Amino acid sequence: QLQLQESGPGLVKPSETLSLTCSVSGDSISSTNYYWGWIRQPPGKGLEWIGSIYYSGSTFYDPSLNSRVTISVDKPKNQFSLKLSSVTAADTAVYYCARQSGSSVHPYYIDVWGKGTKVTVSS
């Protein structure tokens, strides 16, 4: 059974870089037809798709975050990671890692979610 587990600091200072890792168990991150992505949910608000990556390294990002976000894959560790630079209080949210069904050129719907990790941006 596929499981996704987020890990990383729960508190990040403004202007610093938020770094999270998602460990994948029960499936290979090199599986075809799946992307690995990040979604966040600010407190009391809705869902925001951040971006996703294919095992080949092909990435799709929210253009509004594009200059600050990097998603990468570590195949030997079966993990993928999120880096979000120059964070502000507006980046405070629960961050979910997820598996996104897709073709080799396009992500589709999100079929498996991690439990989420709360990240607060504060000095």
Partner 1 sequence: DILMTQSPDSLAVSLGERASINCKSSQSLFYSSNNKNYLAWYQQKPGQPPKLLIYWASTRESGVPDRFSGSGSGTDFTLTISSLQAEDVAVYYCQQYYHSPPYTFGQGTKLEI
Give residues in contact with partner 1 (CB under 8 A): 46-49, 51, 60-64, 96, 101, 106-116
Which of 15, 113 has the CB closer to partner 1? 113
Which of 16, 48 has the CB closer to partner 1? 48
- Minimum distance, C-beta of residue 116 to partner 1, in the bound complex (Å): 5
Which of 5, 16 has the CB closer to partner 1? 5
Which of 10, 63 has the CB closer to partner 1? 63
The string of DSSP letters for 59-121 reads EEE-TTTTTTEEEEEETTTTEEEEEE-S--GGG-EEEEEEEEEE-SS-EEEEEEE---EEEEE
- 52 has which bridge partners? 37, 60
Contact indicator for 100, 109 with CB cutoff of 8 Å: yes
Q: What angle do CA 16, 9, 71 make, to 5 degrees?
A: 70
- Minimum distance, C-beta of residue 78 to partner 1, in the bound complex (Å): 20
- Minimum distance, C-beta of residue 123 to partner 1, in the bound complex (Å): 28
- Minimum distance, C-beta of residue 13 to partner 1, in the bound complex (Å): 27
Residue 101 CB neighbours (<10 A): 13
